[in-house]
Amino acid sequence: MGVCLSHSLTPMAAMTNKTANSLKPDPDEPQTLRSVSVLHVEDDTIIQFHMRTILEKRVRELFSAADGVEGLAMFRAHAPDVIITDIRVPRMNGLEMIEIIRETDPDIPVIVTSAYSDADYLLKAIELGVDKYLIKPFDHRQVVKAVSRAAEGMARQREINEANRFNRFLLDINPSFIVVLDDGEVEYVNSTFLSFMGFRSLEAFILSGRDIADFVEDVGGHQDATRIGRWFEEITGSGEDGVVVRLKGCDERFGGVFWATFNRFPETRKYVVVFTDITRLDDERKLLSLQARTDHLTGVANRLGFSERLQAEIARAERYGQPLSLIMFDIDDFKRVNDEHGHEEGDRVLKALAKLVWTNIRTTDLFGRWGGEEFLVATPNCDLDQALRTAEKLRDLLCEAAIGPGRGISCSFGVTSHRKGESMDAFLRRLDEALYVAKKSGKDTISSA
C-alpha cells in the first residue's frame, strides 16, 4: 500500500472567484499548447473538472475518460497528442493502459498523476518511459508546464519525423540504389533497389533471408564467390573513388552495370552505399569498342579486332599445348574489278565473299578483314593439314559461287601453323610469306609455310 502524500482536493465548487480567475490562460504561455490534443484519464469527477478548467481553453481539444478501458478506446478513436492519466483508475489501471498504447505509439508523451508514492508504480512508470510524474495535489502551473514541455517535445519530434519522412521520400524516389549499413548489417534499402530485387519492403527483404550479395554478379571485375560475398568490403576498401559493380535483378535476365560509391557517417560504423546506373554508358562503351574492332563494310573483325583475339588464341594454344593455324587469302586481280566495274561492285564482292566464308567456317574459328582485299581465318585446335583442307574447301566454294562480274573472282591462299614460343608478328610474317608464294605461283592456289 502506498503512502498518501496529501489530503483530497477541495471541491471545485468551493473555489473562490480569485482562484478560478488564476486558472485563465496567460498570454505568455507557450503557443504550442493551442495546437495539441490531450487525453485525460481520471475517475475522480472533481479532478476531471479541475483539469478541464485548466486545459480546456489552452489546448486544441481535450478528451476525458473515467477508466483505463475507456481511455484506451478514446486513444484509438481520437489519436491525441498527449496523455495525462492517473495510475489508479478502474477496470484497467493507467500504467496497463499506457503499456498497450506504447505498442502502437512508442513516442507519445505521457504524464502520470497519483496521490501515492508506491515504489512499484514508480518503477513501472520509469520502465514505460513516462515524460512527467505529477504528485497530487498539483496546481495549474505544474499541469501547464508539464503539458507545455510535452507539446514542445512533440512539436520537435513532429518536425524531425516530417524531415525524416521527406528525406526518406527523396531517397525512395531516387533512381540510384541506396543502402545504409551499420557495422556491415543492412539497416535501410531504398524502394528503387527493393523493387529491383523483387521486394515491396525492407521487412520482406530481411525476412526472405536474402542478402545484397545474392544480387551481385561482378564487383570490381571479380566474379569469384568469395569477393562477391564481401562486396561491401570490396567497395569501401578499394581505395578508389568508386567501383564498377554488375548487379542482377529479381528476374536474373535483367540486370545492369553500376558505379558504387560510399560515405561513412562521422563517428559511427554506419555507411551509405550508392549504386548509380551506368548501364547505358557501359553499353555505349561496348558499342564503341565493337565499332572500333569491326570492319564497317563487311561486318567481320577488322585488323585491330582480329589481332586482339588472335593474341588471346596464341596464349591459349601455348598454355594448353594445342595447335593453332592461320589462313590468309587475297582476292586475285581485285584492282581490275574496281577499275572496270566501279567501287560499288568492288564493295559488293567484298561483302559477298565475307558472307560466304563466315557461313562456312566453324563457330570457334576467327575471321577478319586484314585490309583491302586481304582476309584472315584463325583455326584453333587445327594443325597444318587440317588448315590446308579448310583453305581448299573455301577455294572450291568461291569457284562454285562465282562471286563478282563474269565468271567470278578467285583467291590465293597462304597457310601456316603456330610454332611454340613464336610471337604473333613472327607467326604473321611466315603466313604472309606463304601467301606471297601462292601469288607468285599463278594465283588461285594454296601455299603453306
Q: Which residues are catalytic?
A: 373
Amino acid present at 255: G
Residue from 414, 317, 396 nearest 364 by CA: 317
* Pairing of the two strands 82-86 and 243-248: unpaired
C-alpha grid cell, residue 163: 524531415
First-to-last CA distance in the chain?
Answer: 112
What does the alpha-carbon distance between residue 177 and residue 196 come to, in Å, rounded to a whole number? 9
Q: Give residues with Cβ within 8 angstroms of 162, minimum separation 6.
A: none
- CB burial readout 432-441, b (16+ within 10 A) else e: bebbbbbbee
3-state helix, strand, coil in the chain (%, to 5): 45, 20, 30
What does the alpha-carbon distance between residue 310 and residue 325 come to, in Å, rounded to a whole number? 10
Residue from 51, 110, 109 nearest 85 by CA: 110
Helix (H, G, I), strand (E, B) or coil at 431: helix
Cell 500500500 sits on residue: 1
C-alpha grid cell, residue 331: 582476292
Which stretch of DSSP H or E encloses residue 317? helix 303-320
What does the alpha-carbon distance between residue 371 and residue 373 come to, in Å, rounded to a whole number? 6
Residues 398 and 364 sit within 8 Å (Cβ to Cβ):
no
**Residue 189 burial (10 A CB sphere; 0-12, 13-18, 19+):** buried
